[in-house]
């Protein structure tokens, strides 16, 4: 073989490997990935005393549905009355949605930490429960303002 033939075969082999990898990434591998942030927590007007604003971003390559958002109390996980705007909603890959969660502070004890739990389904048929702790009394959970993300430990509904 001549150097010219080796170079041609090398370039062809590299092109084949890249084509196979590209096919795998676009058609075979599907990832459910989502990140969220608590943007603000503040007093609300009207019947609801507290508004928690979240930004939710789909960074995977499958569509996700936020089916429900629940506010759970600190003891026993009791589901408390809340109102959620923008839910249910479909989040396409690369999209960001803003979710407003209203609840009543009177439903909690004085020193409370609540869980805002997002119920999420993927286009692959998997269900996820994604909890996020919040507080409004100044005793914030250490991870309240950190980005939270969807992963395998949240799988199951």
How far lies 101's CA from each of 65, 75, 105, 123, in Å?
Answer: 17, 20, 12, 24
Do 148 and 124 reside in the same domain of the chain?
A: yes
Q: What is the pLDDT of residue 47?
A: 77
User: What does the alpha-carbon distance between residue 46 and residue 54 come to, in Å, rounded to a whole number?
Assistant: 20
Residue 1 has pLDDT above 80, yes or no: no
pLDDT in tens, 112-143: 678 888 999 988 888 898 888 887 665 666 77
Q: Do 131 and 147 have their domain in common?
A: yes
Residues 22 and 64 in one domain: no
Note whether 87 and 64 are same-domain residues: yes
Same domain for 54 and 6: no
Note the pLDDT of residue 140: 64
pTM, entire model: 0.76
Report the alpha-carbon distance of residue 67 to residue 9 in Å, rounded.
Answer: 52
The whole-number pLDDT of residue 124 equals 82
* pLDDT value at residue 111: 52
| Domain boundaries, position 70 | 34-154
Same domain? 72 vs 98: yes
């Amino acid at each position: 073989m001549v150097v010219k033939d080796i170079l041609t075969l090398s370039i062809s082999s590299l092109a084949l490997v890249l084509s196979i990898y590209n096919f795998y990434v676009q058609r075979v591998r599907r990832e459910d990935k989502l990140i969220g942030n608590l943007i603000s927590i503040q007093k609300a007007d009207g019947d609801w005393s507290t508004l928690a604003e979240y930004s939710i971003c789909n960074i995977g390559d499958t569509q996700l549905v936020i089916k429900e958002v629940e506010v759970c109390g600190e003891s026993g996980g009791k589901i408390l009355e809340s109102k959620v705007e923008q839910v249910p909603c479909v989040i396409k890959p690369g999209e960001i949605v803003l979710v407003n969660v209203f609840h009543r502070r009177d439903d909690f004890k004085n020193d409370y930490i609540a869980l805002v739990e997002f119920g999420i389904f993927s286009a692959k048929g998997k269900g996820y429960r994604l909890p996020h702790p919040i507080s409004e009394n100044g005793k914030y959970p250490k991870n309240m303002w950190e980005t939270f993300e969807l992963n395998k430990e949240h799988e199951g509904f």
